[in-house]
Amino acid sequence: MDERRKAKDTNLITEQYFDQILIEMRHIDGDVPDLTLNLYGETFSTPVMMAALSHLKGENNEGDGMVQMAEGAKLCNTVNWAGMGSIEQFDAICATGAKSIKIIKPYADENEVLSRLEAAEAAGAIAVGMDLDHSFSGKGTPDVVLGLPMLPRTFHDIENYVKRTKLPFIIKGVLSPVDAQKCVDAGVQGIVVSHHHGILPSVVPPLMVLPAIADVVAHRFPIFVDCGIANGTDAFKALALGATAVSVGRPVMQPIIEKGALGAKETIEAVTTELRSAMARTACKTLSDINKSFLWHDDGTKF
């Protein structure tokens, strides 16, 4: 294949964009930062959250890694997200005491969607949502995940889900101000800015489009960011560009295999410590103090 025809690696593009963003330091009037996050009526110790993962292997490849991740979230008092899995698994996740958000696939069978919404409410989820970036396969046809067919959703479908649940309804897979505006108009209560770990090649990095999305949302609801968050400075950059909180996905997977819940806890705490350091060295006393005035492009221009 001609080199020019090869699609670019979205995950590499995302990583490189993170590295192109630089942070200026400020020290005068600084203090020990408070990383408290208030979200959907709950109070958390950090804006660094677990990601909406699925089918995780547990400690020593035994047990349910999704439940162990939830246990880790409980230990460090952060938000736990849960991706694809059975109703019984999410019951077990919520039984850990972790404050969890359930993300549901866009199943073609509407009964699958509604039954999982109802079950998540009954289990004690703090919010629910739909993973729209899994509507299509790489062939451009409706996706099939673990034998279950998917179906794209319309604006009116999303409006109806918002009305059908008593919980905040979140859309995952927003990577455009156009979709962000549709989410605002549909009445959703949160979005996840994400490209689903490079599900489409040559896609814009979440942080590149995040400021435009934040302008559209205009603080109406929380904005969450995943894809490529590897450390606390990555988290700081995302928060500065408009994120309410960030999710750490792949960095927690191997630690869960090695240490189970403790591995998940230690990973979130390590990223949180790095974020606290970045806040202290920029005189940001609270999360609300972080903004894009701290950021520079690596060509020497300000954001």
pTM: predicted TM-score of the whole model, two decimal places: 0.96
With a CB cutoff of 8 Å and minimum separation 6, the contacts of 57 are 65, 253, 256, 257
The letter for the amino acid at 119 is A
Q: Where are the beta strands (DSSP E) in 120-232?
A: 127-131, 144-145, 148-149, 169-174, 190-193, 223-225
pLDDT, one tens digit per residue, over 274-289 is 999 999 999 999 999 9
Q: For 254-277, how does the pLDDT look when each residue is reduced to its tens digit (9 = 90+)?
A: 999 999 999 999 999 999 999 999
Query: Strand 295-297 to strand 21-23: parallel, antiparallel, or no bridges (unpaired)?
Result: antiparallel
CA dihedral 217, 100, 79, 225 (to 10 degrees): -40
* pLDDT of the residue at 195: 93
Neighbours of 112 (CB within 10 A): 15
pLDDT at position 8, please?
Answer: 80
d(CA 142, CA 176): 21
Q: What is the CATH number of domain 3-297?
A: 3.20.20.70
Domain ranges of the chain: 3-297
- Which parts of the chain have pLDDT scores under 70? 1-7
Identity of the amino acid at 14: T
